[in-house]
Copies of this chain bind each other. A is one copy, B any other.
Amino acid sequence: MKLYSNRFAPSPRRLRIFLAEKGLEIPTVEVDLAGNENLDPAFLAINPLGELPALVLDDGRVITESIAACRYLEALHPEPNLFGRDADERAVVDQWTYRVMFRLYEPVRQAFRNTHRFWADRIHQVPEFGILARDAALAELKALDTELAGREFLAGARYTFADITALCAIDFGKPSGIRVTGELPNLARWHAVVQARPAVKAE
């Protein structure tokens, strides 16, 4: 296998933390997003979407959705388990992963795209929408804080892929002013625990 990745982007980070948790190493090529290397014909031949990560399997197939890549790698390397041990736990991890992706990651992404100077010359920005997206992300942080009042991790009593997803979404909010403050004590406690994991600290 071969992984095309980027050190600063949130979706590659999701996969990178997952690999570290599993103790897996995959030969990795760094793609320079700031220099638009992802739009070079050489990279577009690997992923026509020009996005990262891109995991090239030994048979030549390419998986470009980080969550699909992680779930696939879990099937090949079941331990330590991060997607759930039985149908019930898998449903809860799946549920929280989707919820975080749609209600937190997506608004965080839109806040960044529509207000940050990185995208100013790359897309047609709509700052008015970016500000609404930031507000939606902040509202979801509040909702997650309420959820975490009753349990240690998003999907229950143990750390799972849903927590990796949430960590990457939250940290990606920093340049848009989306942060875990002291007004969200449960989320702050959870954030400190997840950040202290060796797989996260080692990054």
Q: Which residues of A are in contact with B by a Cβ distance under 8 Å? A: 48-49, 61, 63-65, 67-69, 71-72, 75-76, 87-88, 90-92, 94-95, 98-99, 101-103, 106, 114, 124, 126, 128-129, 132, 143
Contact = CB atoms under 8 A, between A and B. Distances in A.
Contact of A132 (B48, B68, B103, B126): B126
A95 B47 CA distance: 13
A158 B11 CA distance: 29
Given A124-B132, A132-B124, A94 B106 contact: no
A95 B76 contact: no
Contact of A94 (B61, B68, B126): B68
A67 B94 contact: yes
